[in-house]
């Protein structure tokens, strides 16, 4: 009763006024409904937020004013007289467009106040065209952020921000494990990329290379809202797959006859330099050349294998083996909130079925985020995510017999049809011996898919709790604790007769477990005051503690007794093999910052931080570093022409130090390593790196200038950034003479300069009532130079000299004469004992171009991105020339070699006299050699087996340049008039495609990943998305 009484009084008291219900819709100038607009009666606690259709409803007393406000739009006040239905049109506010971004530690700042580069990606961008992880979706979307996507299932892309790996931050808590699979893109509100060290200086040493900050979605004030998002993409075919020749089959020197699968003798040693396929031979029953093959019938009389036609049955092995992959994502979320509390819950399930049979990845998350505001001056937030990544098998990557393409086409002639390999046990030897045409070097792909199993089971729990307490006006106390915890269990099932690199398995079972925990806690005081109209001050001091503990254990058998029974108890060896490892580390820090604002035009921000780390020796493990940044809003200071909407200049400087040497927190300690145990006798050895006694943290000083202009009523915007970073006191393993007993000494040395430029262009070329075209272009360019070499050396071990770019590639090549002609001896090119310069690794330009076209309820967006310049080594192409599967090997020389004739004369010269001397660096000091053209004909097959055609293929370094049609999305948004007759508040359907088209200089592989160690084929993904809100 006590509770009901006040409620009654309140209700009665309301009844006393002329309250009226006002409802309406809020739209933008294009007539698009605006959700999330704050609708309130100023100076009261009454207020609401528009729903997804821009609709609102509120009780108002006649004569009161309703205020509509929304970020990026001019506030609008409407005095209520007797209206009951309002149609509000908000106009865009030029100056405050995209006004607030999330910066370090989750602090929201106005864009105009920033002295450094930050670029945001809205969560909605990631909603439709899904990838297995959200990072892949950022390709081409942020200038300076270079994502090199892997084509393999469940493999991390390479993430580089201004040439280095950035920090991942989830809701203000750094995730040092950089697990990009644990965040579901449907839970992402925004991604804010802090590009420079200044932007992320407050994170301390881990923020040295910038940060990718994820803000997850939270409950919104308003009625209960349920959102469902389904996305399904099929990996229907390939945009890039190795294109192999089908003219010649397995064997060597044009000979092939299967005996027992050992690969030796007439089986041709595993080469694809065998006889011509589909060769007419009138003397055989089939009319084709015939030889014994692995699937030959056995002559019952003699017990010998019978010859069968040698024809290209396996032309479609790729199509026949790989299956249609699937990338599916489902998310259901519920959001609710009022002025005291809000909550959001979300369940996501991502399923990826690999193109390799029997491979997949399941990724499920449950996320809850809530806020309570028990009083006006206290806010408490909490977020918790449970995430499970699970697969019982996903493919092994890298070159070798563990790779599917290796077994399927790189080292299998098309005389073998993969469909004939589905029964993968040798009859009578089930569980013991796989069936294949070669059982010494290669694995039957089906055997590999169904018997060689690599499981992965990771459970992530992460989240944070924080509070903010306003002590007095402007001064608040804040605290936050965040944890990352995971447990990972992996198992490896290796069947008997499985072929590894260099060995045949006796069956094995291994398990590996990791338990990981880290916690970051911070506590501080925040002061924020607008001291006058023209002067504002924000300041903060805080203490932060970080602690990590991780434990790894692994165990494996030494052969298996019972085939196919995967348990450690089934060990065939004398003992199990195991190891364990534990790591602990901590950082204690203080930081503070002061932000000053003058006349709404000058902004200055100063930060400082001191870290004390456990990963450096005592005495050198506490260090301080500052930063400063400033910006000037020209458009607020001067009367600029009308067509200038906004103009700003910015600049910043920062110093950030890092006190950790590699991944191991104990790298600053010299100690013994465990050696091989010989028949039960253990051993130890001492590592090959020595330590300098006086290790200091390594430091980067970065300065950056930038400009941001918006013109023609915001129709065109440009953001420019130029930065330079000087990395010094680098903790390097400086090489020393091996004869000193150590290969290197860990010390502070070398100096590098990094510099780069980033350009982002935003444009709205067309904007009418029904049609709008917006475009964004992101461009970046980055270089790193050697500024100093430790110990005054002439050059580094990689031949980099002071002033050189550090991405110079030196490689083992053939000797050439002064005219660049390759020198031959006895028909073969002569190796140069000194590595020589081949080119540069880094691209000249990384670009992304996105466009969105809106026509009424239809919208089409597409993204093109890629890189220009740079070289990459291609293992796939090299092995294709070496092994005989490259299409380029089908020529008359090969036909001659098959017939035993030596007709190939390599292009180059032979030495006819004279001599050459080199100095210690390989520079020629004297050269009296005379030459004649090479005229020694050699066997083409021998030549390729020896040289891989290195000479004519730039040693298999290829230009990395490419352009990719990364994403196309066509969305239809159902009209309100239709939705009224349905339970939906909003509904849209999309056709989506990812990785649709690729053009590149390099053939057979997708250069996107930047490396090729025999990658999986690059798939084209096509599907649909349905997004509904109730």
Tell me which residues in 687-706 interact with other proteins (CB under 8 A). 688, 690
For the segment 325-354, give every residue that binds other proteins (CB under 8 A). none
The mark string for 918-957 relative to other proteins (x by CB under 8 A, - otherwise) is: xxxxx---------------xx-xx--xx-----------
- Say if residues 346 and 333 touch (Cβ distance below 8 Å): yes
Residue 523 interacts with other proteins (CB under 8 A)?
A: yes
**Residue among 586, 610, 620, 1003 that touches other proteins (CB under 8 A):** 586
**Residue among 288, 467, 527, 773 that touches other proteins (CB under 8 A):** 467
Residue 879 interacts with other proteins (CB under 8 A)?
A: no
Is 585 or 865 the residue whose CB approaches other proteins more closely?
A: 585
For the segment 72-101, give every residue that binds other proteins (CB under 8 A). none
Residue 1015: count other Cβ atoms within 10 Å of its Cβ.
27
Residue 837 interacts with other proteins (CB under 8 A)?
A: no
Is 259 or 856 the residue whose CB approaches other proteins more closely?
A: 259
Which residues are CB-neighbours of 880 under 8 A, at least 6 positions away?
242, 244, 410, 886, 1004
Nearest to 902 by CA among 962, 836, 954, 826: 826
Among 167-175, 190-198, 447-455, 539-547, the segment contacting other proteins (CB under 8 A): 539-547
Residue 503 interacts with other proteins (CB under 8 A)?
A: yes
**Residue among 577, 722, 752, 984 that touches other proteins (CB under 8 A):** 577
Residue 839 interacts with other proteins (CB under 8 A)?
A: no
Smallest distance from other proteins to CB 189, Å? 25
Q: Which residues pair with 984 in a beta bridge?
A: none
Is 639 or 919 the residue whose CB approaches other proteins more closely?
A: 919
The mark string for 961-990 relative to other proteins (x by CB under 8 A, - otherwise) is: ------------------------------
Smallest distance from other proteins to CB 475, Å? 13
**Residue among 19, 429, 831, 891 that touches other proteins (CB under 8 A):** 831
Is 543 or 978 the residue whose CB approaches other proteins more closely?
A: 543
Strands 689-691 and 744-748: parallel
> What sign does the dihedral 1003-1004-1006-1007 (CA atoms) show?
negative
> What sign does the dihedral 200-367-186-239 (CA atoms) show?
positive
Residue 504 interacts with other proteins (CB under 8 A)?
A: yes
- Say if residues 240 and 1004 touch (Cβ distance below 8 Å): yes
Residue 684 interacts with other proteins (CB under 8 A)?
A: yes
14 by DSSP, 3-state: which?
helix
278-284, Cβ contacts within 8 angstroms, sequence gap of 24 or more: 278/310, 278/311, 278/312, 279/310, 284/309
Alpha-carbon distance of 761 to 329, in angstroms, equals 32
The mark string for 368-397 relative to other proteins (x by CB under 8 A, - otherwise) is: -------x-xx-------------------
Smallest distance from other proteins to CB 465, Å? 9
Smallest distance from other proteins to CB 382, Å? 12
Alpha-carbon distance of 859 to 30, in angstroms, equals 14
Residue 742 interacts with other proteins (CB under 8 A)?
A: yes
Smallest distance from other proteins to CB 806, Å? 15
Is 16 or 502 the residue whose CB approaches other proteins more closely?
A: 502
Smallest distance from other proteins to CB 676, Å? 5
Is 573 or 651 the residue whose CB approaches other proteins more closely?
A: 573
Scan for tokens 């020198």, then name that residue. Answer: 823
Compute the radius of gyration of the chain from its Cα atoms: 33
Smallest distance from other proteins to CB 810, Å? 10
Q: What H or E segment, with its residue span, contains residue 879?
A: helix 875-883
Alpha-carbon distance of 188 to 124, in angstroms, equals 8
The mark string for 607-646 relative to other proteins (x by CB under 8 A, - otherwise) is: -----xxx--xx--x-------------------------
- Say if residues 908 and 790 touch (Cβ distance below 8 Å): no
Cα 718-720-722 angle, rounded to 5 deg: 175
Which residues are CB-neighbours of 75 under 8 A, at least 6 positions away?
67, 68, 69
Smallest distance from other proteins to CB 914, Å? 13
Is 666 or 855 the residue whose CB approaches other proteins more closely?
A: 666
Is 166 or 174 the residue whose CB approaches other proteins more closely?
A: 174
**Residue among 561, 567, 740, 930 that touches other proteins (CB under 8 A):** 740
What angle, rounded to 10 degrees, do the helices at 875-883 and 940-947 form? 150
Alpha-carbon distance of 464 to 483, in angstroms, equals 6
> What sign does the dihedral 186-188-190-192 (CA atoms) show?
negative
Smallest distance from other proteins to CB 486, Å? 18
Nearest to 404 by CA among 360, 446, 442, 445: 445
Smallest distance from other proteins to CB 578, Å? 12
Tokens coding 439: 């059982």
Smallest distance from other proteins to CB 747, Å? 11
Q: How many CA atoms lie within 13 A of 91 on its CB side?
A: 6
Tokens coding 248: 């010649």
Smallest distance from other proteins to CB 514, Å? 14
Which residues are CB-neighbours of 777 under 8 A, at least 6 positions away?
759, 760, 761, 763, 847, 848, 849
CA 440 to chain centre: 36
Residue 521 interacts with other proteins (CB under 8 A)?
A: yes
Alpha-carbon distance of 1026 to 988, in angstroms, equals 6
Smallest distance from other proteins to CB 76, Å? 37
Tokens coding 513: 């477990």
Alpha-carbon distance of 331 to 365, in angstroms, equals 9
Is 71 or 670 the residue whose CB approaches other proteins more closely?
A: 670
Is 232 or 942 the residue whose CB approaches other proteins more closely?
A: 942
Nearest to 193 by CA among 224, 217, 215, 219: 215
In the chain, count H helices and then E strands.
10, 55
For the segment 643-682, give every residue that binds other proteins (CB under 8 A). 665-666, 669-673, 675-679, 681-682
Among 7-15, 362-370, 642-650, 739-747, the segment contacting other proteins (CB under 8 A): 739-747
Residue 5 interacts with other proteins (CB under 8 A)?
A: no
For the segment 236-265, give every residue that binds other proteins (CB under 8 A). 251-253, 255, 259, 262-265
Residue 484 interacts with other proteins (CB under 8 A)?
A: no
Smallest distance from other proteins to CB 681, Å? 5
Smallest distance from other proteins to CB 931, Å? 15
Extended beta strands in 561-697, E state: 577-598, 602-613, 622-633, 644-658, 672-674, 684-686, 689-691
Residue 884 interacts with other proteins (CB under 8 A)?
A: no
Residue 915 interacts with other proteins (CB under 8 A)?
A: yes
Q: What H or E segment, with its residue span, contains residue 343?
A: strand 341-353
Residue 281 interacts with other proteins (CB under 8 A)?
A: no
**Residue among 86, 519, 539, 979 that touches other proteins (CB under 8 A):** 519
Tokens coding 982: 């349905």
**Exposed, middle or buried by CB within 10 Å (0-12, 13-18, 19+), for 42?**
exposed
Q: How many residues bind other proteins (CB under 8 A)?
A: 115
**Residue among 131, 179, 451, 585 that touches other proteins (CB under 8 A):** 585
For the segment 429-458, give every residue that binds other proteins (CB under 8 A). 440-441
Is 612 or 959 the residue whose CB approaches other proteins more closely?
A: 612
Alpha-carbon distance of 58 to 44, in angstroms, equals 13
Is 582 or 907 the residue whose CB approaches other proteins more closely?
A: 582
């Amino acid at each position: 009763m006590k509770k009901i009484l006040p409620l009654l009084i309140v209700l009665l008291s309301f009844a006393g006024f002329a309250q009226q219900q006002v409802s309406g819709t809020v739209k933008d100038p294009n007539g698009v409904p605006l959700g999330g607009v704050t609708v309130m009666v100023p100076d009261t606690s009454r207020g609401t937020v528009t729903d997804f259709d821009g609709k609102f409803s509120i009780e108002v007393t006649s004569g009161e004013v309703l205020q509509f406000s929304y970020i990026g739009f001019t506030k609008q006040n409407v005095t209520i007289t007797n209206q009951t239905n309002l149609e509000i049109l908000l106009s865009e506010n030029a100056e405050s467009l995209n006004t607030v971004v999330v910066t370090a530690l989750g602090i929201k700042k106005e864009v105009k106040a920033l002295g450094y580069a930050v670029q945001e990606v809205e969560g909605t961008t990631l909603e439709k065209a899904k990838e297995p992880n959200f990072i892949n979706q950022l390709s081409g979307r942020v200038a300076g952020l270079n994502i090199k996507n892997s084509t393999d299932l469940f493999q991390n892309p390479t993430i580089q921000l201004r040439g280095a790996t950035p920090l991942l931050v989830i809701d203000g808590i750094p995730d040092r494990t950089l697990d990009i699979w644990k965040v579901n893109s449907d839970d992402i509100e925004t991604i804010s990329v802090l590009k420079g060290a200044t932007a992320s200086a407050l994170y301390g040493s881990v923020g040295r290379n910038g940060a990718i900050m994820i803000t997850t979605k939270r409950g919104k004030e308003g009625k209960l809202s349920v959102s469902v998002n389904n996305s399904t993409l099929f990996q229907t075919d390939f945009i890039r797959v190795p294109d192999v020749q089908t003219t010649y089959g397995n064997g060597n020197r044009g000979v092939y006859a299967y005996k027992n699968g050992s690969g030796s003798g007439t089986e041709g040693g595993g080469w694809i330099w065998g006889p011509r396929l589909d060769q007419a031979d009138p003397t055989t029953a089939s009319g084709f050349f015939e030889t014994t093959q692995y699937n030959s019938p056995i002559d019952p009389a003699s017990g010998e294998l019978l010859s069968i036609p040698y024809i290209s049955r396996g032309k479609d092995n790729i199509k026949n083996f790989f299956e249609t992959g699937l990338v599916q994502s489902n998310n259901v979320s519920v959001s609710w909130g009022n002025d005291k509390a809000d909550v959001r819950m979300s369940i996501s399930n991502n399923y990826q079925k690999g193109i390799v049979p029997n491979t997949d990845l399941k990724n499920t998350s449950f996320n809850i985020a809530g806020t309570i505001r028990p009083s006006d001056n206290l806010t408490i937030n909490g977020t918790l995510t449970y995430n499970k990544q699970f697969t019982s098998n996903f493919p092994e990557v890298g070159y070798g017999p563990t790779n599917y393409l290796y077994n399927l086409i790189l080292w299998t002639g098309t005389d073998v049809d993969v469909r004939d390999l589905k029964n993968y046990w040798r009859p009578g030897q089930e569980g013991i011996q796989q069936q294949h045409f070669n059982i010494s070097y290669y694995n039957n792909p089906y055997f590999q898919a169904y018997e060689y199993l690599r499981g992965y089971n990771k459970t992530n729990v992460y989240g944070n709790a924080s509070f903010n307490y306003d002590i007095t006006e402007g001064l608040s106390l804040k605290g936050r604790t965040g944890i990352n915890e995971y447990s990972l269990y992996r198992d490896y099932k290796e069947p008997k007769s499985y072929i590894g690199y260099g060995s045949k398995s006796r069956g094995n079972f291994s398990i590996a477990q990791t338990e990981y925990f880290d916690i970051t806690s911070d506590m501080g005081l925040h002061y924020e005051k607008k001291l006058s109209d023209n002067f504002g001050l924000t300041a903060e001091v805080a203490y932060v503690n970080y602690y990590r503990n991780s434990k790894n254990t692994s165990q494996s058998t030494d052969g298996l007794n019972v085939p196919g029974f995967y348990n450690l108890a089934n060990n065939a060896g004398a003992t199990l093999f195991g190891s364990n490892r534990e790591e602990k580390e901590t950082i204690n820090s203080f930081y503070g910052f002061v932000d000053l604002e003058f006349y709404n035009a000058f902004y200055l921000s100063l930060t400082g931080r001191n870290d004390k780390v456990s990963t450096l020796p005592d005495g050198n493990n506490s260090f301080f570093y500052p930063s400063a940044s400033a910006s000037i809003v020209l458009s607020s200071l001067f009367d600029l022409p009308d067509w200038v909407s906004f103009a700003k200049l910015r600049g910043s400087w920062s110093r950030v130090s890092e006190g950790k040497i590699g991944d191991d927190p104990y790298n600053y300690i010299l100690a013994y390593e465990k050696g091989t145990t010989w028949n039960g006798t253990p051993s130890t050895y001492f590592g090959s790196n020595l330590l300098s006694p006086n290790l200091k943290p390594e430091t980067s000083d970065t300065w950056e200038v930038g400009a941001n202009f918006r013109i023609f009523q915001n129709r065109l915007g440009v953001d420019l950034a130029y930065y330079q970073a000087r990395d010094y006191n680098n903790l390097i393993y400086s090489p020393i003479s091996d004869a000193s007993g150590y290969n290197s000494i860990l010390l502070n040395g070398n100096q590098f300069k990094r510099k780069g430029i980033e350009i982002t262009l935003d444009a709205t070329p067309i904007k009418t009532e029904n049609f709008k075209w917006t475009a964004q272009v992101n461009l970046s360019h980055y270089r790193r130079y050697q500024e100093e070499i430790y110990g005054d050396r002439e050059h580094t071990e990689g031949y980099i000299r002071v002033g050189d770019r550090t991405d110079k590639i030196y490689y083992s090549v053939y000797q050439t004469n002064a005219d660049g002609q390759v020198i031959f001896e006895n028909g073969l090119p002569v190796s140069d004992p000194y590595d020589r310069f081949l080119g540069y690794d880094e691209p000249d330009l990384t670009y992304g171009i996105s466009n969105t076209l809106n026509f009424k309820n239809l919208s089409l967006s597409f993204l093109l991105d890629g890189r220009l310049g740079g070289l990459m080594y291609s293992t796939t192409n090299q092995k294709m020339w070496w092994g005989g599967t490259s299409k380029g090997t089908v020529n008359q020389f090969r036909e001659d070699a098959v017939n035993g004739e030596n007709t190939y004369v390599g292009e180059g010269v032979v030495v006819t006299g004279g001599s050459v001397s080199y100095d210690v660096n390989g520079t020629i000091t004297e050269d009296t050699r005379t030459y004649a053209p090479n005229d020694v004909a050699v066997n083409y097959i021998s030549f390729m087996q020896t040289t891989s055609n290195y000479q004519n293929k730039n040693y298999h370094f290829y230009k990395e340049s490419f352009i990719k049609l990364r994403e196309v999305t066509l969305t239809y948004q159902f009209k309100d008039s239709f939705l009224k007759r349905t339970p939906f508040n909003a509904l849209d359907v999309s056709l989506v495609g990812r990785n649709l088209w690729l053009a590149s200089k390099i053939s057979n592989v997708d250069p996107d990943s930047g490396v090729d160690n025999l990658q999986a084929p690059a798939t084209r993904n096509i599907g649909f998305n349905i997004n509904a809100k109730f």
